[in-house]
Amino acid sequence: NCVGGAGKPPTTGESQWIPASRIIHLADIGNWNINIFGVSEASNGHPILAVTHNIFHQSLEIGEYNSLTLLEDLDINREKFFRYVQVIESQMHAENVYHNAVHVADVLHNMLWLLTEGELTERMRLSKIEVFASLFACMIHDFDHPGVSNDFLVRTSNKRAILYNNQSVNENWHVAQAFALLNGDHSEIAWDEAWSEERHYNFRKLCISLVLATDMSKHFALLGKFRSRVADSSNAAEAFNPKDPKDREGVKN
């Protein structure tokens, strides 16, 4: 079970899941000017599912890879993955003015643009698992967000703040709960069932790094380091070494 019982998948049969035939086609997927609010309205309030489904059901070039076959290339159970996506979206709270499903879908789509049109995949020579992790981390980065800041949780001695010792409280919660779904007794959403322990370990480690980097108290320090590297380099395009694991992680963050 999830720590604190955050996310729980439907348990009453196939009718609980939205079939692929009912998910809208997005002709402008990958376009920077996509209207994410329009996507939310057209998808009947399921923008995360709509964006994720279109990424992996359309033939999009992501560096040398193709999004249409990426799930199969990584031994991911497609049907169970999209059930998992629906569980993630079901725990996004519509009453949140900002940290809601529309925001998550927007961040996810922005990452898609960076990986494709922004040439992040090619420039940093990202592997397939790194590409998928970048998209996945965006999808879960605000999972079950309470709608209040880390500082509020800490100052009110919220149970989440106590659980994570006041450190990146929301971010730790998001990523922990998202992976707890995969570790629980939920075979209907276990999209990673074919993965080895080592692959799952490395994937989770990468996602943790990416999600924790969204803590705004760390944002400006990370951005400052990024800008310094670019400023100190004679060629901005060569400021980061794609063969250096720390550089690869830093750019993705």
Token pair listed for 207: 């996602």
- The catalytic residue among 46, 53, 57, 99 is 99
Closest Cα partner for 104 from 88, 125, 118, 127?
88
On whether the CB atoms of residues 169 and 218 are closer than 8 A, the answer is no
**Is 141 assigned a catalytic role?**
no
Closest Cα partner for 27 from 39, 13, 19?
39
Three-state SS for 180-219 is HHHHCCCHHHCCCCCCCHHHHHHHHHHHHHHHHCCCHHHH
Q: Which residues are catalytic?
A: 99
